[in-house]
C-alpha cells in the first residue's frame, strides 16, 4: 500500500515537472518572437549628445548658413554696382544702416541740414528736443560712424561725409532720398568762383 502511494506521488511530481517545462518553453518562445518582431531602436543624435548640445549645434549651423547667404548677397550687390544696375531706395539704405529711432532722427536732422552739413552738438540738441532723448555730441558722432560702417559693409557706399567739423549726407544718400542737390552744388560752385574772382581783382 505504501509503495503504491509513493509511486502515485512520484508520477504526479513527474507530471508537474513536465508541465512546468512546457510552460517555460512556451514563455521563451513567445519572448523570442517578440524580440524578433521589435528590432532594436537606434539612438538619435539628440539622445547621444544631449538635447541642449544638439540644439546648440543646430543653431550654429543655421547661423553659418545665414552668414554665407548674406555674404553671397553682398557679392551680388557689389557686382550690380560695377555694371551700374544697383539702385537703392530709402528703405534699403535705412534697412542697412539704421538700427533704431535715434539713428533715424539723426539721419533726418543731417538730411535737413543739406549740403553744408551740421555739427554733432547741434544734431544732439535738436534730436533731444524732438524725441526726449539724452544724447551728447560724442553719442551722435559714434552713431554716425557706426551707420556709415554698416552701410559700407553691405553696399560699399558711404552714408555720411565730413564737411570740416560738420557731418553731411553723401551724394549717394541724397540720390537715395530723391533730393535735388545739383542746383545747390552749382550755386556753391558759382559763389566760390565769384569769391576767387574778387580776390584776384583785389590783388
**What single string gives the DSSP state of each residue in 92-140?**
HHHHHH--SHHHHHHHHHHHHH-TT-B-HHHHHHHHHHHH-----HHHH
Q: How far is CA 84 from CA 78, 81, 88, in A?
A: 10, 5, 12
Beta bridge partners of 166: 163
Beta bridge partners of 167: 118, 162
pTM of the model: 0.57
The three-class DSSP label of residue 44 is: coil
pLDDT of residue 203: 35
Structural domain tally of the chain? Answer: 1
Which domain, by its residues, includes 167? 90-194
CATH at 114: 1.10.10
Residue 9 forms part of a structural domain: no
pLDDT of residue 85: 66
Check pLDDT > 90 for residue 167: yes
Q: What is residue 84's DSSP assignment?
A: T
pLDDT of residue 6: 57
The three-class DSSP label of residue 18 is: helix
Check pLDDT > 70 for residue 165: yes
Residue 130 forms part of a structural domain: yes
pLDDT of residue 184: 44
Section 133-153 average pLDDT: 91
Residue 7 forms part of a structural domain: no
Rounded CA-CA distance 176/157 in Å is: 11
84 Cβ contact partners less than 8 Å away, ≥ 6 residues apart: none
From 97-106, 120-129, 181-190, the region with the lowest mean pLDDT: 181-190
Rounded CA-CA distance 55/49 in Å is: 10
Residue 56 forms part of a structural domain: no
pLDDT of residue 175: 85
Taking alpha carbons only, the member of 140, 141, 142, 149 closest to residue 96 is 149
**Higher-confidence position of 75 and 100:** 100
Check pLDDT > 90 for residue 90: no
Query: What is the chain's mean pLDDT, rounded?
Result: 76
pLDDT of residue 8: 59
Residue 116 forms part of a structural domain: yes
Residue 172 forms part of a structural domain: yes
Residue 135 forms part of a structural domain: yes
74 Cβ contact partners less than 8 Å away, ≥ 6 residues apart: 153, 154, 155
Residue for cell digits 518582431?
37
Sign of CA dihedral 138, 139, 142, 145: negative
> pLDDT (tens digit, 9 = 90+) per residue, 4-55?
655 656 676 667 677 767 777 776 766 665 555 556 677 777 777 788 888 8
pLDDT of residue 183: 41
- Report the share of the chain in percent with pLDDT over 70: 69
Residue 17 forms part of a structural domain: no
pLDDT of residue 51: 80
From 24-38, 58-72, 105-119, 146-160, the region with the lowest mean pLDDT: 24-38
Amino acid at each position: 500500500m505504501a509503495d503504491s502511494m509513493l509511486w502515485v506521488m512520484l508520477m504526479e511530481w513527474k507530471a508537474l515537472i513536465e508541465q512546468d517545462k512546457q510552460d517555460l518553453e512556451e514563455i521563451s518562445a513567445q519572448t523570442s518572437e517578440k524580440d524578433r518582431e521589435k528590432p532594436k531602436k537606434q539612438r538619435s543624435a539628440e539622445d547621444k549628445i544631449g538635447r541642449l548640445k544638439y540644439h546648440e549645434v543646430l543653431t550654429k549651423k543655421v547661423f553659418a548658413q545665414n552668414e554665407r547667404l548674406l555674404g553671397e548677397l553682398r557679392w551680388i550687390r557689389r557686382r550690380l554696382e560695377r555694371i551700374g544696375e544697383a539702385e537703392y531706395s530709402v528703405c534699403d539704405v535705412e534697412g542697412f544702416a539704421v538700427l533704431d529711432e535715434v539713428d533715424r532722427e539723426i539721419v533726418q536732422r543731417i538730411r535737413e541740414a543739406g549740403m553744408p552739413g551740421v555739427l554733432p552738438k547741434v544734431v544732439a540738441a535738436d534730436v533731444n528736443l524732438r524725441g526726449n532723448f539724452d544724447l551728447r555730441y560724442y553719442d551722435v558722432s559714434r552713431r554716425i560712424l557706426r551707420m556709415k560702417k554698416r552701410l559700407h559693409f553691405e553696399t560699399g557706399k558711404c552714408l555720411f561725409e565730413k564737411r570740416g567739423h560738420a557731418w553731411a549726407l553723401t551724394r549717394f544718400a541724397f540720390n537715395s532720398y530723391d533730393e535735388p542737390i545739383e542746383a545747390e552744388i552749382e550755386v556753391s560752385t558759382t559763389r566760390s568762383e565769384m569769391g576767387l574772382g574778387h580776390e584776384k581783382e583785389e590783388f
